[in-house]
Amino acid sequence: MSLVLLSWSSGKDSAWALHVLRQHPDVEVVGLLTTFNEVADRVAMHAVRRSLVEAQAAAAKLPLWRVPLPFPCSNADYENRMRAVIARAREEGITHMAFGDLFLQDVREYRVRTLSDSGVEPLFPLWCSAAQTPALARTMLRDGLRAVLTCVDPRQLQESFAGRAFDAALLAALPDAVDPCGERGEFHTFCFAGPMFDREIEVRAGETVFRDGFYFTDLMPA
């Protein structure tokens, strides 16, 4: 039996990775690992409130491993804190760390390198090609995943997409150059319902602001 700690961004890909991993009888997901900006108390990049991530973990019936990161955070600071978490995971008998990465080879290689010699192996349950992400997005929606866009990169996607539901209408409206799963950083999401949860997480969209080169929509408990 593989004991797996899942890297949890609060978005649709990590949520779908949880669903996929739970289909394997020889895998047990034992926790969700999330890094938080310790100044803002929000998920880095997705800017999701900690309380909403805690609600996700409760709905998934899994403990949340919180990793506070300084802001600004250097790569050295990030790696030092992650090494401590991985050492804890190994001590607790965790054999694998899973990621919701789809097709970015450089990201995958970084994960592998970070875990090398740690005693914890990487897993990539959603790994596919860029040509396969349209089908993956449709499968997520068909099987009940629901999410909302919390962050948009205006260099790749219009501001008006921030705060929109991740649904068939959004997929149809995306420019051809934008990956349907946002794998190149075009957008980030918060997953509030799906087969990985035992209940829907009620949220409402607040203000959309421009900060640090991105548009962020603030989600609040409904």
Residue 45: per-residue pLDDT: 75
pLDDT average, residue stretch 206-217? 95
3-state SS of the chain is CEEEEEECCCCHHHHHHHHHHCCCCCEEEEEEEEEEECCCCEECCCCCEHHHHHHHHHHHCCCEEEEEECCCCCHHHHHHHHHHHHHHHHHCCCCEEECCCCCCHHHHHHHHHHHCCCCCEEECCCCCCHHHHHHHHHHHHHCCCEEEEEEECCCCCCHHHCCCEECHHHHHHCCCCCCCCCCCCCEEEEEEECCCCCCCCCEEEEEEEEECCEEEEEEEEC
User: Mind listing the pLDDT tens digit for each residue in 45-84?
Assistant: 778 999 999 999 999 999 999 999 988 888 898 989 999 9
List of residues 6+ apart from 213 with CB closer than 8 A? 153, 154, 155
The pTM assigned to this predicted structure is: 0.96
Q: Is the pLDDT of residue 17 over 80?
A: yes
pLDDT at 118: 94
pLDDT-based confidence at residue 151 (cuts at 50, 70, 90): very high
The average pLDDT across 145-165 equals: 97
pLDDT greater than 80 at residue 204:
yes
Decide which of 74 and 12 is more confident.
Answer: 12
C-alpha separations of 178 from 152, 170, 204 in Å: 11, 11, 26
The pLDDT of residue 215: 97
State the pLDDT at residue 192: 98
Q: Is 90 exceeded by the pLDDT of residue 176?
A: yes
Q: What is the mean pLDDT of residues 112-140?
A: 97
| pLDDT exceeds 90 at position 44 | no
Average pLDDT on 197-202 reads 98
Average pLDDT of the chain, as a whole number:
96
